[in-house]
Structure 1
């Protein structure tokens, strides 16, 4: 996994300028500022610093800190983003110009239509659930992975049993391989949260959810009470934090998923792309992220797709990319995934049919 994600980080960094047209002064300024912000972040401070690692502590790895979005995109495949809050934000977090207060409705009209429709659908069809702390959330995910060079497709089945309150070890899987994830250490530093109690504390109002994420998790996280004060840098990170919540937490308290859909639609740079197929071959509309600060001609981080039914706006699944190996041996895969089923069970590795 380390080779996979590090190679992705390096490729994305190299692609920042390679083959792209000459950048104007403003684009160069943004690029330098973003790079400098990340590589000069304060050293470890138990109160506030942002780092990322996969969900299982036993599989944790050092991560390149040059490109936050690439790191998040890699971790979102099947892990958990783990955060220890950033430093005091000195020298960072200046307000983007022009202010973004008017940008979401102007820039994302079609994307917001899809995501607001998805929120309506989710509210009408979500199944309220109140698991006990001693129970487990069982999920079964199907991932169809296609080698982009050979066209060969392999189907993976991932079954997970996550402890509701994090006090017990969980069984988690990635690409058909599973391992035991140790109990939560109680420091509340993982994003997205998997513990039901922490999920219940997240706001179910989309604006308040954005502000909670920005204040608690995004770098430069001075207390903020208005979307207009969110900087360009913070919007970029907020998108990936909301995306991680939606992808890595398949079962949520009532109202949280609809709020997350609506919040995603308020991020400058999200757009709708029609005629995208999901893992079952259904044609839908995808929501992708086009970073407004991305230099012209660079690829950015647009491989992550949230695919929705174009009529009902029901969520169909994800599309992503994964790389393995390096140099001439590097392979790139397209991943199409969806949640097959879920349930609340009493024991780890207990199937729903056997649940009492």
Structure 2
């Protein structure tokens, strides 16, 4: 019935409305093809799909530094969402999420620092996190320092909102997304379309073009790209700009103006309007400078506890500094 309702809405579409952007048009085309194929074609076989397990929202996974890809035959995926505040910014009305992400890619290309760490070294990162209890307004700040083994063969030190632990190397046959070792990161395509297809096909897809990607797969692509950008602060040359451009190709990325970063600066955010979520709900925000498109940081929602004891926090975070070091716990 959903597809029929959408076709009725299309019939009543106001011809005075501005034309659809490429991302929205692509999503509409995919749904229209699904409607034409009929109900039988929309029955999804039980197959492994990407599932990201979040214990306290995506923000906690950011600090932990690893999203673990789990094969899940029931096709479910859980994640918390946050509703964007109702804001308006007349100066930003004619700017799309795609424009911002292309600008972010251009900024990253111009300012990225090229590194070639040795396998026996570590990537050091220092992240600043500010959390505000949504009920009480109380705010706490954390400094998380991480040391990741470049080739993944040594144990790493990981911190999550002020708490740290030793992360052992992956065992034989284990894998994570996004890749944490430099060798695996260097194998990822730096062409945005090829990067999207490689991610879509990583989890059981057979896409040869972007038109072959379903709504479910687009969610997987978005979540994988978001994880790559959030959890890998240091990347091989060209990969971050490609990831920004690829994110701009995902149907459903939207602009959310007037968002404050952890330093109190007002930026413009990019969020994802997931068609599988309740209408109006959003996940993480990527916040950018509205003029230069420099990346300013993330906005997330984190929860702790259950039931009446559950607490909800607005979390703002950014990468303060990074370096390549020879030993774990060594500061630059």
TM range (shorter): 0.7 to 0.9
Q: Contact between 1:49 and 1:83, CA under 8 Å: does it hold in 2?
A: no
- Which residue is equivalent to 2:89? none
Does residue 1:161 correspond to 2:147, yes or no?
yes
Evaluate the alpha carbon distance shift between residue 186 and residue 154 of structure 1 in structure 2; reply closer, same or farther with a 3 A threshold: same
Q: Distance in 2 between matches of 1:216 and 1:349?
A: 34
Q: Distance in 2 between matches of 1:190 and 1:175?
A: 21
TM-score, normalised with respect to structure 1: 0.72
- Which residue is equivalent to 1:314? 294
Q: CA RMSD in A?
A: 2.9
- Which residue is equivalent to 1:235? 218
Q: Secondary structure at the match of 2:144?
A: strand
- Which residue is equivalent to 1:324? 304
Match runs of 1:168-247 below 5 Å = 168-187=154-173, 189-217=175-203, 221-247=204-230
CA-to-aligned-CA distance 1:294-338 (integer Å, 9 cap, x gap):
454xx53x1410000001000000000011112221110000000
Q: CA deviation at 1:224?
A: 1.9
- Which residue is equivalent to 1:343? 323
**Unmatched tracts of structure 2, length 5 or more:** 7-30, 76-93
Evaluate the alpha carbon distance shift between residue 25 and residue 295 of structure 1 in structure 2; reply closer, same or farther with a 3 A threshold: farther
Match runs of 1:9-88 below 5 Å = 41=46, 50-53=50-53, 75-76=61-62, 78-84=64-70
Q: Distance in 2 between matches of 1:26 and 1:214?
A: 28
Q: Distance in 2 between matches of 1:120 and 1:210?
A: 19
- Which residue is equivalent to 2:104? 118
Q: CA deviation at 1:277?
A: 0.5
Q: CA deviation at 1:111?
A: 0.4
Q: Distance in 1 between matches of 2:57 and 2:46?
A: 16
Evaluate the alpha carbon distance shift between residue 161 and residue 27 of structure 1 in structure 2; reply closer, same or farther with a 3 A threshold: farther
- Which residue is equivalent to 1:13? none
Q: Contact between 1:52 and 1:72, CA under 8 Å: does it hold in 2?
A: no
- Which residue is equivalent to 2:12? none
Q: CA deviation at 1:289?
A: 0.7
Q: Distance in 2 between matches of 1:206 and 1:168?
A: 31
- Which residue is equivalent to 2:252? 269
Q: CA deviation at 1:184?
A: 2.1
Moved more, 233-242 or 286-295: 286-295
Q: Secondary structure at the match of 1:254?
A: coil
Q: Distance in 2 between matches of 1:169 and 1:41?
A: 36
- Which residue is equivalent to 1:287? 270
Equivalent pairs counted in the alignment come to 281
Q: Distance in 2 between matches of 1:279 and 1:73?
A: 14
- Which residue is equivalent to 1:7? none
Evaluate the alpha carbon distance shift between residue 80 and residue 27 of structure 1 in structure 2; reply closer, same or farther with a 3 A threshold: farther
Q: Contact between 2:58 and 2:302, CA under 8 Å: does it hold in 1?
A: no
Q: Contact between 1:75 and 1:81, CA under 8 Å: does it hold in 2?
A: yes
Structure 1 runs (4+) deviating above 6 angstroms are 27-30
